[in-house]
Amino acid sequence: MSAIIISGKELARTKREGMKQEVEGLTKEGIKPGLAVILIGEDPASQSYVRSKQKSCNEIGIHSELFELPSSTSQEELLTRIQDLNEADHIHGILVQLPLPEHISEDAVIEAIDPSKDVDGFHPINIGKMMIGQESFLPCTPFGIVEMIKSKEIEITGKHVVVVGRSNIVGKPVGHLLLNENATVTYCHSRTKNMKEMTRSADILIVAVGKAHFLDADAIKEGAVVIDVGVNRNSEGKLVGDVVFDRAREVASYITPVPGGVGPMTITMLLHNTIESAKRSIK
């Protein structure tokens, strides 16, 4: 078997074309969606993500503002900046790029963002609403993963989903979203015993560990759907996922590539949430 590739790149392109039209319509009505992005410090990976977010906003007509602050910025200064943006009518989404310098509390920063502008979906109110199935901003990577699975009309109800990784940004929320879609969900993490036994029982396997080639084909059940969230550089500097793609592809029924898989969907869902927030502001 050679698995069907779920291309996040293609799905993102299609979705963004629709969003561009929607933004044009909203802008004509006088509501131009606006996103504020705050970057603290000079981490090259974060700088690159933030640039990519801005470029994507510009491409579909979303107003974006970037605040690049030095790593010496105090927590108080950052919270004041967030408060100003909470009160700014032309800003519908606020994103503080993580990770933050050690002297700033991630929890305090996330909780300072008005939940109605939390387009990352990280605020405890939004996470709580997601858990009980209420309308909220969904975290972008998990949201993108569910969209990718649905785009291929893959049945989720009753399927055994195994999530490897339990981060607040990806692992935990993606399991809850799929539970809301009636899947039976198992979480695996660094303390899990018999990891391979678990992953081999997955109908849908989501791997979000952040370690190059963490799982090989022998960890995958014949015909499983494999979603690879990892973006790692191998020893040759090439981008690779958490799964050995070439071999896993021979076992899986569907698989996401790296690059061009989950990555492009994360920013797409951020754009979606920003547009949604702008729409909610006129309701």
Q: Give the footprint of ligand GUN on this chain (CB under 6 A).
A: 95-98, 120, 140, 169, 266
- Within 8 A by CB and 6+ apart from 102, the residues are none
Nearer to ligand GUN by Cβ, of 95 and 219: the residue is 95
Q: Are the beta carbons of 207 and 224 closer than 8 angstroms?
A: no
Cβ at position 145, least distance to ligand GUN in Å: 13
Cβ at position 97, least distance to ligand GUN in Å: 5
Cβ at position 221, least distance to ligand GUN in Å: 29
Nearer to ligand GUN by Cβ, of 97 and 136: the residue is 97
Nearer to ligand GUN by Cβ, of 3 and 109: the residue is 109
Alpha-carbon distance 19 to 75, whole Å? 35
Please identify the residue of the shown chain whose CB is closest to the bound ligand GUN. 98
Nearer to ligand GUN by Cβ, of 199 and 273: the residue is 273
Q: Are the beta carbons of 110 and 86 closer than 8 angstroms?
A: no
Q: How would you list the strands of the sheet with 93-96, edge to edge?
A: 63-69, 34-40, 93-96
Q: CA nearest 31: which of 56, 76, 65, 62?
A: 62
Catalytic (active-site) positions: 53, 97, 120
What tokens appear for 184 in the block? 């039976």
Cβ at position 200, least distance to ligand GUN in Å: 29
Cβ at position 233, least distance to ligand GUN in Å: 16
Nearer to ligand GUN by Cβ, of 49 and 254: the residue is 49
Nearer to ligand GUN by Cβ, of 65 and 192: the residue is 65
**What is the largest distance, in Å, between two alpha-carbon atoms of the chain?**
57
Cβ at position 83, least distance to ligand GUN in Å: 18
What tokens appear for 58 in the block? 């510009």
Alpha-carbon distance 190 to 40, whole Å? 30
